[in-house]
Structure 1
C-alpha cells in the first residue's frame, strides 16, 4: 500500500538538511532498491519534503517516518503519514 509522508521543516530545517541529507538518502536507498519509492523530494517552497513510499501497514510507514534521520535530527519539526491511492498515472 502506498503512503504519503509529508515532513515539515523546523526553523533550522534548511541548515540541518544539508548536514543530514546523506543519512536521509541512505535510509531511503534500501526501499528504492526494492522498488518501494514512488517519488521523494523537497518541496520547492522550502516548507519540507514529500515522499510517496510503499509499506505493508500504516504502522510501518509511521515507524519509518519517525526514525528517518531528518526527523531524528530535527530537520522535520512535524510529520504526517497518510494512506494514498494512486489513480494517475496508472500504476504498473
Structure 2
C-alpha cells in the first residue's frame, strides 16, 4: 500500500462552510474503509491535508475527486505520492 498527500487548497470559503458536513462524512467513510490515514485543516484557513492509502496515484486521484469539496468547487487539490517514515505501524 502506498500513501498520497492531498493538499486541499481553499477556493471558495462559503462553499467550504456549506459543504463541510458532507466533506467530513466522506472522510469518516474513507477512514472506516482504511483509505484515509489522517486528515486535518490548516489553522491559517488555507485549506487542509488528507493522507490517502491507495495502490496507485490513479486510485488516489479517484478518491480525491469523490470528495464533496472537489465536486462543488469549494477546494482545489494537489496530490503527491508520499514516502511515509514513522516509528508507528499504520497498517
Same fold per TM (> 0.5)? yes
Q: Which runs of 5+ in 2 are unaligned?
A: none
- 1:5-59 per-position Cα deviation (integer Å, ceiling 9, x unaligned): 001111xx22211110111112122221133322111111111110111012111
Worse-matched range after superposition: 30-39 or 50-59: 30-39
State the 4+ residue runs in structure 1 displaced beyond 3 angstroms: none
Residue of structure 2 in register with 1:61 after alignment: 60
Unaligned runs of 5+ in 1: none
- C-alpha distance in 1, partners of 2:73/2:84? 30
Task: Provide the TM-score with structure 2 as the length reference.
Answer: 0.85
Alignment length (residue pairs): 89
Pairwise CA RMSD of aligned residues?
A: 1.5
